[in-house]
Structure 1
Amino acid sequence: MAETAEPHDVGRHLLGPHVVGQRVVVRHLVPGERGPSGGPAMTDVLGTCEAWGDGVAVIAREGGSRVQVPIADIVSGKPVPPRPTVRLRMTPLEAQLRSLVMWPDVHTEQLGDWVLRSASDPVRRANSALAMGNPGVSFATAVRRVTEFYAERGTPPIVMVEADSDLDGEFAQFGWVPDRPEEPDTWFQVASVSRALRALRDIRRIDMELIDDGHRLEARVGEEAVARAAYDRDWLGLHALNVEPSRRRQGLALNLVAAMLEWGAERGATTVYLQVLADNEGALELYQRLGFTTHHAYRYLTPR
């Protein structure tokens, strides 16, 4: 006869018919087996609850297999948050590397995982060191090389770091400070291209000029609004979205974003990303409507 736990060992969980369709973790007895301490053996299963009834819970693992767990054998369990999408599981470094395609003339030099960047476009992202990951040398040596790299080009040394990361703290100990102290962190946000397009399907369309070089797109409404996009490996990047103050809240930004999303979708883009200052409430409200969520925050540092 299979061994079962004492009554007080089972049944104390947050599971039931209400968790069908949710991601759950379930700890249950393994009938007929003993654990390392000599008591009943137990095991865990993580997946989506597909059914709960007739004395059995059916859990679909993320790999595709299904486990039938007798409800009487459940020791503990609870709903857990959905697994993050692939785009959210990507590291900040991996996500930031997608943006290099924005600048066709950017010059880069690898320093371990770090990327030293320089371009004719004066935007800071293209003229700062992407200091994320392991530089492959001592931190002091890495900082010295960053300083030398930009001195050779006659520009001030600037690094982009993930906000409040270990590297952010190490730079602070070396005397590096925010490049623009009054500026908030920048949020790197991502969304599903298809979801964002659905949110824009009912907007009133306007005419605009599209300049397409195959990998990059510029969308323009006269001299009143402009935005740029770049495509790389199924990711679409949006940047430089600007609308004249007198024409804001008139649908120009929505039209620019829609045009760029459609252009990216035609090329196979499934993820769209952008970067926005944390205090830009108007833009954040717009992007939230389109399904964007914050992947990570970053800031720029320079020697004191």
Structure 2
Amino acid sequence: MDKPVTDLALVRACESRIVNAWPAPATLVIDDWVVRFANGYSGRANSASALQADAEMDDGTLAFIEKLYAEAGLPPRIRFTPLVAESARRRFAARGYRIETASFGMVAELDPARHPEDPEMLVDPLATEAWISGVCSHQTGNKRNREHLSAIVSGVRLPAAFATLLHEGRPAAYAMSVAERGMAEIGAVIVDESLRGKGLGKKLMLGLMGWAAAQGCILAYLQVDQSNGLAFEMYRRLGFRTIYAYETRVLDR
């Protein structure tokens, strides 16, 4: 059976917007790549991502990028999206880059009639201290660092929704969305572990899809870890379809 053809234009549209929706405090554009540094908070914001189809990287450029990450005290990471040229993939593999995580990129069509805004969802256009603290309180490791998360979300320069969902009067779930040119990224979805199974994740997602539709967006997009089967199935039931798969690969120092 022939391999399905990936819509590279749509992949590029998502990947370029991700850079703006989840901005790293330090960013360099090197040839067809964006190289990002965010104190180790999240793989996306601390990796090199292709911005063009068939993005190549020669040995000299790879060594230069690896040196930049070493100087920042971070391991070099490359996101193996469909935009990366096959020759570059082989080069990274030969250097010893191992798979750290594997994810799916998903999109869903938006319609204000089907995705109304949720009046019960608290939405702020800027990330508040309460939102940052709430997200970090449900994380582990470096992702508990409020200062590092704040450095990312405070850099958003586009219409944004930092959402908090209440359950029985207390914060129970968090997420964010950023709208850009007809598309809205939804990310940082966190549900209190003790309250899972109550439909809060679905309610939060529908609320943000409604917010995005109200911004005039026609597509919502997100990325989900391939090992997170429960989240993947929830997104699929909400109308999201997989448009690409990618790996984040890291070089151990």
TM-score (norm 2): 0.72
**Secondary structure of the corresponding residue to residue 68 of structure 2:** helix
Matches of 1:146 and 1:257 in 2, distance apart?
36
Counterpart of 1:127 (choices 27, 38, 46) is 46
Aligned residue number for residue 93 of structure 2: 172
Aligned residue number for residue 217 of structure 1: 161
Shift of 1:188: 0.6
Identity score, percent:
27
CA contact (8 A) 1:162 1:299 kept: yes
Matches of 2:61 and 2:85 in 1, distance apart?
17
**Secondary structure of the corresponding residue to residue 239 of structure 1:** strand
Matches of 2:10 and 2:219 in 1, distance apart?
15
CA contact (8 A) 2:103 2:224 kept: yes
Matches of 2:77 and 2:19 in 1, distance apart?
17
Runs of 4 or more above 6 Å deviation:
none
CA contact (8 A) 1:189 1:292 kept: yes
Larger CA Rg, structure 1 vs 2: 1
Deviations 1:218-272 (A, max 9, x none): 1112432111111111110011111122212212112211221121112111111
Deviations 1:120-142 (A, max 9, x none): 57111011111464556x52022
Shift of 1:102: 2.1
Deviations 1:56-96 (A, max 9, x none): xxxxxxxxxxxxxxxxxxxxxxxxxxxx9xx9452534421
Q: Aligned residues, how many?
A: 210
- Aligned-pair RMSD on alpha carbons? 2.8
Counterpart of 1:194 (choices 104, 111, 134) is 111
**Secondary structure of the corresponding residue to residue 224 of structure 1:** strand
Name which structure has the greater RCO, CA cutoff 8 Å, separation 6+: 2
Higher helix share: 2
Aligned residue number for residue 31 of structure 2: 112
Aligned residue number for residue 95 of structure 1: 14
Matches of 2:183 and 2:11 in 1, distance apart?
14
**Secondary structure of the corresponding residue to residue 294 of structure 1:** strand
What is the letter of the counterpart of residue 163 of structure 2? A
Question: Which consecutive residues of structure 2, in runs of 5 or more, have no partner in the other structure?
Answer: 127-157
Q: 1:267–1:207: structure 2 CA closer, same or farther, 3 Å change rule?
A: closer
Shift of 1:193: 1.5
Matches of 2:233 and 2:213 in 1, distance apart?
23
What is the letter of the counterpart of residue 269 of structure 1? C
Q: 1:121–1:248: structure 2 CA closer, same or farther, 3 Å change rule?
A: same
TM-score (norm 1): 0.61
What is the letter of the counterpart of residue 128 of structure 1? S
